[in-house]
């Protein structure tokens, strides 16, 4: 019988909502160079380019809606504690706001958020919905020219690592949804959760790079596999091994 559940999500959960993944033939990293738009050095080289890149992504979220997988996780988060001694925590690598639009609570954005901005001078971060530039003034310290996207770039330390480690060490079920398993530390969460005794299940179109850390996988579209799995989990308290379509 499971108690605490930790769910790690990646770009694949939002793909069916029209947000491109990073690694595929048409993925974001085929269009843009990681070094240019997802490293601090790239930002320093061309701040305008990087602000504009994330402005475009932020604005593109306006008409994006959560899909059945996001909604199923919200349902699990709400329903699970009613019948089980444990809670459901969502840790996402995604910088979109679809878990929030699906009304999930306390989503841990380990790679930052498009709908937030960070001041390099006073280190404040706050909700931000507009377009940022090298001239944006910090709402906290009033200084100009120190704002950056609140995104964790390659080479930077993901947010909330202590909290995530605590959650992983206390979960009995770990679900990984729509992530290729090539970016650490998130790719190592399954191994850690398993070493702490959790049952680990991945949901993906295909086996991820860290498939050997999982007890089993459900392969297919997240909008189909995740709701079917959640239904069964809520009804029986058991994890389903065979995907339903």
| Cβ count within 10 A of residue 180 | 19
Q: Which positions from 46 through 65 interact with ligand APR, judged by CB under 6 A?
A: none
CA–CA–CA angle 235, 98, 49 (5° rounding): 155
Among 7, 98, 222, 228, binds ligand APR (CB under 6 A): 222
Q: Which stretch binds ligand APR (CB under 6 A): 40-48, 57-65, 201-209, 234-242?
A: 201-209
Least distance in angstroms from the C-beta of 144 to Zn ion: 10
**Would you give the DSSP letter of residue 24?**
S
Q: Which regions of the chain does DSSP assign to beta strands (E)? A: 5-9, 88-92, 108-109, 112-119, 125-127, 147-151, 173-177, 199-204, 216-219
Q: Which stretch binds ligand APR (CB under 6 A): 46-54, 81-89, 165-173, 202-210?
A: 202-210
Q: Is 138 in the site for Zn ion (CB under 5 A)?
A: yes
Q: Is 137 in the site for Zn ion (CB under 5 A)?
A: no
d(CA 206, CA 162): 30
Least distance in angstroms from the C-beta of 122 to ligand APR: 25
Q: Which stretch binds ligand APR (CB under 6 A): 73-81, 166-174, 198-206, 235-243?
A: 198-206
Among 140, 195, 207, 212, binds Zn ion (CB under 5 A): 140
Positive or negative, the Cα torsion across 230, 235, 237, 240? negative
């Amino acid at each position: 019988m499971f108690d605490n559940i930790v769910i790690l999500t990646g770009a694949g959960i939002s793909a069916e909502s029209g947000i491109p993944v990073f690694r595929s033939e048409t993925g974001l990293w085929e269009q843009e160079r990681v070094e240019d738009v997802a490293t601090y050095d790239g930002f320093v080289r061309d701040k305008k380019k990087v602000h504009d890149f994330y402005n475009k992504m932020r604005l593109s979220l306006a008409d994006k809606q959560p899909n059945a997988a996001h909604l199923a996780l919200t349902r699990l988060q709400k329903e699970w504690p009613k019948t089980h001694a444990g809670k459901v925590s969502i840790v996402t690598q995604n910088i979109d706001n679809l878990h929030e639009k699906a009304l999930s609570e306390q989503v841990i954005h380990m790679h930052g958020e498009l709908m937030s901005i960070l001041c390099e001078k006073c280190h404040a971060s706050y909700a931000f919905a507009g377009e940022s530039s090298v001239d944006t003034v910090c709402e906290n310290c009033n200084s100009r020219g120190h704002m950056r996207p609140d995104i964790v770039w390659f080479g930077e330390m993901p947010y909330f690592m202590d909290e995530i480690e605590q959650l992983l060490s206390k979960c009995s079920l770990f679900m990984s949804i729509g992530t290729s398993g090539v970016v650490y530390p998130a790719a190592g969460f399954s191994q850690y959760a398993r070493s702490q005794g959790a049952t680990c299940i991945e949901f993906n179109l295909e086996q991820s790079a860290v498939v050997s850390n999982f007890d089993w996988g459900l392969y297919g579209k997240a909008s189909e596999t995740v709701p079917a799995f959640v239904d069964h989990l809520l009804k029986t308290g058991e994890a389903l091994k065979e995907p339903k379509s």
